[in-house]
Amino acid sequence: MAENFFGLTDTGMVRGNNEDTFIAQTVMNGKYILASAIDGVGGYSGGEVAAALARDNIIEYFNKSGNDIIPMMDESLLIANEKIHVGRTEVKEHDSMACVLTLAVIDMESNEFYYIHVGDTRLYLLRDGSLIKLTKDQSFVGFLEDSGRLSEEAAMNHPKRNEINKALGFSRELEKKGDYFETGQSPFLPGDMLLLCSDGLTDMVNKQDITDILTSSNSLEEMSRQLIAAANAKGGKDNITAVLVKNDKPLQKLHATKPLANEKKKVLKSEEIQRPEIEPEPAVSISEPIRRKKSLAMTILSILCTLLLLSSIYLLWELGKRKDKLVEQEKVIAPDSVKTESEQNFFRALSTSGDTLILNDSVYANPIIVTDTIRIEKDTLYILARGKIVFKRDSSYKGPALLIPAGNKSIILSGLIFDGFDVAIESRSKGVRLEGVQFLNCLVPIKYLFRATSDNYVNGSLIELFLKPDSLANQSKN
């Protein structure tokens, strides 16, 4: 059994069955650790079945080859969601089953982890004795607690604590809801620990008591048992699950070394002490003719050096003049355009992505300030927003935010927001699809250009695209 991860689940003191399950194992030939806390939604028939379906399908998916972790996590949950929906239709007693979960993929070699979350299970990071909650409870009470309107104690005792608004099984077409899953990634440093748990733990045990258990010197197995015991001691009203992963690499310590300069001085001093004395050579008399020849050679050499120096100065002067002219020409032909930091980050992500680019508001917390046209050069691209992703026009920029050239086969934009552009999207391709895209203060949201044949008659009708103003707004809230 591995010593750096462990999972445990318990029925609790009240429930007759355990609708919780968990994942704690290595995948992809040991390259990653897969950890998850899964909670079958209480009160619905088949919650235990839904949790098991999610667990089995996630493990099966991650045992296949793959490298792009965040899209893989997203796809694994979509597959699990589809399996749950199929099960709802096949068994009448399970027609309301669903589950919530938090999934983490840990790359111990690179000291980082990725996570995806839906519902009210939680992910915590313990670092330097401080416990940080990384996920947000997708419920009304969770929103009040995360926004500071309810204290932890008040939230734990709220009558609507367990009423959630997102889960696997609630909707069949989750891929159309760009912000349905919460995703992110973070460094995982030596000494760090992750806790993934169901609400059966956090509804019973407060943050400080959890921290006290996790900062002890016990093993991960003993810590897991202590967490469950603490929840049962407070009443154990729900199933309880705790999964722990620790980066058990040794902490790096810096060792002071002597300055290299001092050592060099000692070596030189030692050499000087050990150096044998050298007898001075006897003086040699130089005749007058030899001195005259030497003097003449030195004069000629000095003249040549002076000429060479003057030539170099003149050459550098000419090169400087030409460089100044080139700089002036460049200023006239192509004025310098300095991209904003957020814009540079987006361009890097766009250039390195495959057919899918997922933008997370944990990375793009502030609007992406656009100072130049963003050209979508790929034939096929799916840009998906996780959270609120805003493209905002720089005050000095007048062009379109996105330019989609002719010939693009399939460009899908989902959940993006464009703010303040004269033209938000200029497309020369028919293969563009918008899903939940919102336009704020844009004079022309979408501009479509097509090329007509020259010197020929054109027959046909022009079809305009009408968008209902409220449809975009409603989709952006989902």
Does residue 72 carry a pLDDT above 90?
yes
Decide which of 477 and 307 is more confident.
307
Q: For position 264, what pLDDT does the model report?
A: 43
pLDDT confidence tier of residue 283, bands split at 50, 70 and 90: very low
Alpha carbon dihedral 149, 152, 156, 159, in 10-degree steps, equals -10
Q: For position 276, what pLDDT does the model report?
A: 44
Does residue 227 carry a pLDDT above 50?
yes
**Residue 168 gets which letter from DSSP?**
B
Does residue 273 carry a pLDDT above 70?
no
- Domain limits, the chain: 5-246, 347-477
Number of neighbours of residue 11 by Cβ within 10 angstroms: 17
Q: For position 209, what pLDDT does the model report?
A: 97
Can you tell me the distance from the alpha carbon of 365 to that of 433, in angstroms, rounded to the nearest whole number?
25
Class in CATH terms, 5-246: alpha beta
Does residue 66 carry a pLDDT above 70?
yes
Give per-residue pLDDT as tens, 168-222.
998 887 766 667 899 999 999 999 999 999 999 999 999 999 999 999 999 999 9
Phi/psi at 384 (nearest 5 deg)? Answer: -120, 125
Candidate from 236-250, 265-279, 407-421, 456-470 with smallest mean pLDDT? 265-279
Helix or strand holding residue 184 (H, E): strand 182-187
